[in-house]
Amino acid sequence: MINIVISLNIIIFLFIGNFLLNQRKQIHILREKTDVLEQLITQINKDHPVLINADLVFAKQLREINRQLVSMDNQLQDLENKRDNDGGYQHALRILEMGGDRDEIVSSCHLSNAEAELLMNLQAYRSAMKVS
């Protein structure tokens, strides 16, 4: 009977020993993972200010590029408007030669009232010069 009790104690001791050994291995693996994570956190903490600075510089560069694009777009639009208006003036003068009025010029040539009045005065002057 004592042999059975001793055998059971030895078996229990072996199970407990095996369990403790496995737990020790798990603790060692977890410590290694913790060390790797701590190194990663340290590296991230070092890189974070650099990345923030790079992000700010990048944002400034993007704003500058955007400003330049808007400026270029405005310049291009101005050039297109000049080209459109040059043709519009010629078209408006032809309309006036055919007997058109200010409202027709404003609506079909996309001119302002002042531009239409100026062109009407120019056309009247030209007509007066032809008659003289």
In a domain? residue 23: yes
Q: What is the pLDDT of residues 25-39, one digit of tens each?
A: 999 999 999 999 999
* Gap between the Cα atoms of 98 and 109, Å rounded: 15
Spatial distance between the Cα atoms of 48 and 102, rounded to a whole number of angstroms: 66
Euclidean distance between the first and final Cα of the chain, in Å? 147
User: How confident is the model over 35-92, as pLDDT tens digits?
Assistant: 999 999 999 999 999 999 999 999 999 999 989 988 887 887 776 666 555 677 888 8
Here the contacts of 41-49 (C-beta below 8 Å, separation 24 or greater) are none
pTM for this model (two decimals)? 0.41
Does the pLDDT at position 117 exceed 80? yes
| Range of the structural domain that residue 107 is part of | 65-132
Same domain, 37 and 70: no
Same domain, 27 and 74: no
Going by C-alpha positions, the residue among 97, 116, 120, 114 that lies closest to residue 105 is 116
